[in-house]
């Protein structure tokens, strides 16, 4: 006799029962809410996390009182109820209580065929998910006395026991199997990847079965009231007569819900039930303040609501749903803002394949996750990780993915699988990660041995070949294709506008070109926080002049080359000022080492010698002379500005002349000029003196007054430590956390990728410090720099303009440290804005408590 644990942790779910998400899980709580709305939910019992945990540990409860809740000879289902439905859980098991006796009885009431089907399905589910037998032995589709007999025999042969007939034993084993599967390593890793804590609990709900099979109209289905991909209002779902559980989602004879061209619909077939479902949909939207997918059964013509879950949604749909709920006054705007994961916004911002461009589609599949990406083919997750470590974009191509592929999927920029559907592993995970993904591309086959894929037409693609995955259309394209920048819809714009009202830290963009500046403005950036001017010199006509300047033998030659660059730079700045319409524009003076502008190949050197009219040997010698052992720590940034001051003079003049011109045409411009790679106060003094002189000269020449602000980029540890004295000469300090991270760790930002994966994997660094600000080390320097800078000059403006600026965790750091703004790439501005608004909301809530 099994000894039962003292067990009282099951609760019948009623409107007033003591059910909570933190003890019983989201599904149990949601069922209670549905009952409170008076939906026709079958009787349900909830088992707490604690109870399930004890079951997994072998402390089996007394099942009899649980079953007794459902009357004599009940049939029940068990479903998982974790705290967050996204954390997954074991699949539902239906028809527990089915045995030979019930089978005979049911044959009398609902007919032999339906009774056979229910019994066979239960034997199959029990054998596979509880006794863990090989699914192939139980894959019969058609139910009859004979197949039931065969299934029972197969069960007995494999387990050496008869199929359990006692409902108490059946339910006990189902609960035990589900509890244990939750505690398994794979399940734990999967849910942790979705943000679940290591000790996340599982609740279970035991529910009276509603049959969905029988003589009068019976069946099962799901309905939702918005489109999962776009969030637009639209009734979608499926219904299948004579079915149970989620069988209604597929198979022959499925009815769509609304009247349309595809054939018969539930709306025509059962108009009263359809109207009732619409009513419950509206009530649940209003009262549960969410778009729900309702799982229902029609039992002899009567509607039963078995379950409701948040509608599965893309990020685009999530934004539209949250904004629509706020616009309908169902939730406050603040809540709409709080509901959107900032990083999810990037999915809305994804590139799309330009429909006007040429497409060379080599295989088609299911468009499982939107957006498009180009990369080199890899066939294994290990290859994907290696590719990412080299900084190369790659497309993971697999027959299908499994949980072991998660790391590979993280590393890839898109996924393409031969098998699978909208809810297969690859599709679900890719949507979660926001990766473009195509699944079920059955027109290709993979050959692991030769590392190649072959299409039905005989085209062959090998590892390393470049392809594009268009996850929005389901087409895999050969080579690279033209991409379109993403479109912004009205819901996205509204959300960002609301976030802007709550944002209490400035968000600027790093923008080097007029196109970047325009994108930054479109995304609502409050100015440019970093314009890397050297990017302006890489265009063809400028590069030659730039090289002439580098090779100039005399000050006159250099001045002449700079004179040619001046109008080009002036035009650049005029355009930036005009696009930004009076918003601040922070221009960083020239930063990289000069040799970056010179060719290194023999052909390139020969070409340059020709262009400059110099002997090749001369050019080669000069290039060698400029080469440094460690250029990132060499003559770059302000060091170049001091050694070759004419470059900064030219840039300052271009900025001031552009200021005068742009101010005459539009809003007055107050440019910000930033000195890179400073490590000593004297560097700032020297540069400032010359820039002030250029400003005075331009004022006199143009007869116009203008202001400008000079600041310093804090990118070296010494600049952070000496920020006090530096701030005397700087109106602002902008922390360049890319170089600052490099120099704090002594870690080359260009080479770290080679071992970063291993370092993170082995826990040396919790994360790549070039992606996530190292709050402990680099963060301490930021604190010191900010404190000392502010002590010396209380009105000094503080900001971060390294890549970390757009990262929600770094924004939290900057807000807390009292920084004035962060500056990040234009596409990250919306993410940064939403993250900042959410941080402000969280603080307001904390302060209210
Ligand atoms: C930095 O170093 O953080 C920075 C913004 O400058 P760059 O990336 O151009 O070196
Ligand atoms: Mg830098």
Residue 781 CA, ligand 2 centroid: distance in Å: 16
Q: Cβ distance 740 to 778 under 8 Å?
A: yes
Tokens linked to 433? 């990660």
Sheet holding 76-82, edge to edge: 10-12, 44-47, 202-208, 76-82, 93-96
Residue 423 CA, ligand 1 centroid: distance in Å: 42
Distance CA 453, CA 706 (A): 63
Binding site membership of 588 for ligand 1 (Cβ less than 6 Å): no
Whether 346 has a binding-site annotation, put simply, is no
Q: What is the pLDDT of residue 4?
A: 47
DSSP notation for 256-292:
ESS-BTTB-BHHHHSHHHHHHHHHHHHHHHHHH-S-E
Tell me, which fold does domain 506-537+583-593+636-848 have in CATH? TIM Barrel (3.20.20)
Among protein residues, the one with the nearest Cα to ligand 1's atom 8 is 738
Kindly report the length of the chain: 849
Based on DSSP, count helices (H) and strands (E) in the chain, helices before strands.
Answer: 33, 31
Positive or negative: CA dihedral 304, 306, 309, 314? negative
Residue 715 alpha carbon, nearest atom of ligand 1: 2
Q: For residue 237, give the nearest of 279, 295, 290 by alpha carbon.
A: 295
Binding site membership of 532 for ligand 1 (Cβ less than 6 Å): yes
Binding site membership of 802 for ligand 1 (Cβ less than 6 Å): yes
Tokens linked to 578? 């005009």
DSSP notation for 395-434:
EEEESS--GGGHHHHHH-SEEEESS--TTSHHHHHHHHHT
Distance CA 822, CA 803 (A): 10
Among protein residues, the one with the nearest Cα to ligand 1's atom 1 is 736
Binding site membership of 636 for ligand 1 (Cβ less than 6 Å): no
Q: Could you tell me the pTM of the whole model?
A: 0.76
Tell me, which fold does domain 351-484 have in CATH? Glucose Oxidase; domain 1 (3.50.30)
Residue 181 CA, ligand 2 centroid: distance in Å: 50
Q: Cβ distance 723 to 785 under 8 Å?
A: yes
For ligand 1, pick from 508, 510, 532, 533 the residue to mutate: most ligand atoms within 8 Å of CB. Answer: 532
The CATH architecture of the domain made up of 10-208 is 2-Layer Sandwich (3.30)
For ligand 1, pick from 640, 712, 715, 774 the residue to mutate: most ligand atoms within 8 Å of CB. Answer: 715
Query: How large is the greatest C-alpha to C-alpha distance in the chain, in angstroms?
Result: 106
Question: Where do the CATH 3.50.30.10 domains begin and end in the chain?
Answer: 351-484
Residue 801 alpha carbon, nearest atom of ligand 1: 5
Question: Where do the CATH 3.20.20.60 domains begin and end in the chain?
Answer: 506-537+583-593+636-848
Binding site membership of 512 for ligand 1 (Cβ less than 6 Å): no
Residue 717 CA, ligand 1 centroid: distance in Å: 14
Question: Where do the CATH 3.30.1490.20 domains begin and end in the chain?
Answer: 10-208
Tokens linked to 139? 């894959």
Tell me, which fold does domain 219-313 have in CATH? D-amino Acid Aminotransferase; Chain A, domain 1 (3.30.470)
Question: Where do the CATH 3.30.470.20 domains begin and end in the chain?
Answer: 219-313
Q: Which residues of the chain have pLDDT under 70?
A: 1-8, 246-255, 260-263, 355-356, 403-404, 422-424, 428, 431-434, 484-487, 539-540, 753-754
Report the DSSP pairing between strands 709-714 and 672-675: parallel
Residue 620 CA, ligand 2 centroid: distance in Å: 28
Q: What is the pLDDT of residue 249?
A: 63
User: Three-state SS string across 215-260, please?
Assistant: CCCCEEEEEEEECCCCCCEEEEEEEEECCCHHHHHCCCCCEECCCE
Distance CA 817, CA 431 (A): 35
Active site residues: 425, 801
Among protein residues, the one with the nearest Cα to ligand 1's atom 6 is 736
Ligand 2 (ion): residues with CB under 5 Å are 715, 736, 739
Whether 521 has a binding-site annotation, put simply, is no
Distance CA 6, CA 62 (A): 8
Q: What is the pLDDT of residue 248?
A: 59
Binding site membership of 739 for ligand 1 (Cβ less than 6 Å): yes
Residue 737 alpha carbon, nearest atom of ligand 1: 3
Residue 735 alpha carbon, nearest atom of ligand 1: 3
């Amino acid at each position: 006799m099994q000894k039962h644990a003292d067990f009282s942790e099951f609760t019948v779910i009623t409107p007033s029962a003591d059910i909570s998400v933190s003890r019983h899980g989201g599904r149990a709580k949601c069922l209670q809410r549905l009952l409170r709305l008076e939906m026709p939910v079958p009787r349900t019992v909830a088992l707490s996390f604690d109870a399930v945990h004890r079951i997994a540990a072998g402390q089996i409860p007394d099942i009899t009182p649980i079953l007794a809740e459902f009357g004599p000879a009940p049939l029940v289902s068990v479903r998982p109820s974790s705290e967050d439905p996204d954390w997954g859980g074991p699949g539902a098991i239906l028809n527990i209580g089915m045995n030979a006796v019930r089978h005979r009885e049911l044959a009398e009431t609902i007919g032999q065929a339906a009774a056979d089907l229910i019994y066979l399905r239960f034997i199959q589910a029990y054998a596979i998910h509880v006794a863990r037998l090989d699914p192939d032995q139980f894959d019969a589709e058609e139910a009859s006395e004979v197949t039931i007999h065969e299934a029972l025999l197969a069960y007995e042969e494999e387990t050496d026991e008869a199929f359990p007939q006692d409902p108490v034993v059946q339910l006990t084993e189902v609960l035990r199997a589900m509890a244990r599967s939750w505690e398994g390593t794979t399940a734990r890793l999967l849910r942790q990847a979705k943000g679940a804590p290591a000790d996340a609990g599982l609740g279970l709900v035991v529910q009276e079965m509603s049959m969905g099979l029988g003589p009068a109209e019976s069946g099962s289905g799901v309905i939702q009231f918005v489109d999962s991909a776009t969030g637009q209002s639209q009734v979608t779902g499926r219904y299948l007569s004579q079915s149970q559980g989620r069988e209604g989602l597929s198979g022959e004879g499925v009815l769509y819900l609304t009247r349309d061209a595809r054939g018969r619909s539930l709306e025509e077939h059962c108009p009263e039930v359809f109207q009732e479902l619409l009513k419950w949909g509206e009530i649940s939207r209003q009262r549960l303040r969410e778009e729900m997918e309702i799982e229902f059964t029609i039992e002899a013509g009567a509607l039963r609501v078995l379950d409701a879950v948040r509608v599965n949604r893309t990020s685009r749909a999530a934004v539209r749903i949250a904004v629509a709920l706020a616009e309908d006054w169902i939730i406050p705007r603040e809540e709409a803002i709080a509901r959107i994961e900032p990083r999810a916004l990037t999915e809305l911002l994804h590139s799309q394949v330009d429909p006007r461009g040429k497409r060379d589609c080599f295989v088609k599949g299911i468009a499982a996750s939107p957006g498009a990406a180009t990369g080199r083919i890899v066939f294994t997750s290990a290859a994907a990780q290696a590719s990412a470590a080299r900084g190369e974009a790659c497309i993971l191509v697999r027959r299908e993915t499994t949980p072991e592929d998660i790391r590979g999927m993280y590393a890839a920029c898109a996924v393409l699988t031969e098998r699978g559907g909208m809810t297969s592993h690859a599709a679900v995970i890719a949507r979660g990660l926001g990766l473009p993904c195509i699944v079920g591309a059955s027109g290709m086959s993979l050959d692991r041995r030769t590392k190649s894929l072959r299409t039905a037409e005989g085209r062959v693609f090998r590892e390393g070949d470049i392809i594009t995955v268009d996850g929005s259309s389901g087409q895999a394209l050969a080579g690279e294709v033209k991409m379109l920048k993403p479109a912004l819809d009205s819901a996205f714009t509204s959300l960002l506008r609301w976030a802007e009202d709550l944002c209490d830290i400035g968000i600027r963009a790093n923008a080097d070109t007029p196109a970047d500046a325009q994108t930054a403005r479109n995304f609502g950036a409050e100015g440019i926080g970093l314009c890397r001017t050297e990017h302006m010199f890489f265009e063809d006509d400028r590069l030659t002049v730039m090289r002439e300047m580098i090779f100039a033998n005399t000050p006159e030659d250099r001045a002449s080359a700079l004179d040619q660059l001046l109008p080009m730079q002036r035009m650049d700045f005029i355009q930036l000022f005009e696009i930004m319409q009076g918003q601040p524009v922070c221009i960083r003076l020239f930063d990289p080492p000069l040799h970056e502008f010179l060719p290194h190949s023999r052909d390139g050197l020969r070409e340059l010698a020709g262009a400059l009219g110099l002997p090749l040997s001369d050019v080669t010698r000069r290039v060698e002379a400029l080469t440094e052992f460690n250029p990132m720590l060499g003559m770059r940034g302000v060091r170049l500005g001091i050694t070759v001051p004419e470059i900064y003079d030219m840039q300052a003049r271009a900025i001031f002349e552009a200021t005068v011109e742009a101010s005459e045409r539009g809003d007055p411009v107050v440019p910000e000029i930033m000195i890179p790679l400073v490590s000593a106060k004297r560097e700032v003094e020297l540069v400032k003196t010359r820039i002030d002189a250029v400003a005075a000269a331009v004022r006199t020449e143009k007869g116009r007054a203008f202001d400008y602000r000079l600041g310093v980029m804090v990118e070296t540890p010494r600049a952070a430590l000496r920020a006090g004295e530096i701030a005397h000469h700087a109106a602002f300090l902008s922390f360049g956390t890319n170089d600052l991270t490099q120099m704090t760790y002594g870690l080359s930002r260009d080479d770290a990728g080679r071992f970063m994966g291993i370092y993170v994997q082995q826990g040396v660094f919790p994360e790549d410090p070039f992606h996530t600000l190292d709050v402990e080390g680099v963060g301490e320097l930021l604190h010191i720099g900010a404190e000392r800078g502010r002590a010396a000059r209380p009105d000094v403006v503080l900001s971060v303009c390294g890549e970390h600026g757009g990262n929600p965790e770094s924004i939290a750091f900057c807000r807390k440290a009292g920084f004035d703004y962060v500056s990040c790439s234009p596409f990250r501005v919306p993410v940064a804005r939403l993250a900042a608004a959410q941080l402000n909301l969280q603080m307001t809530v904390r302060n209210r408590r």
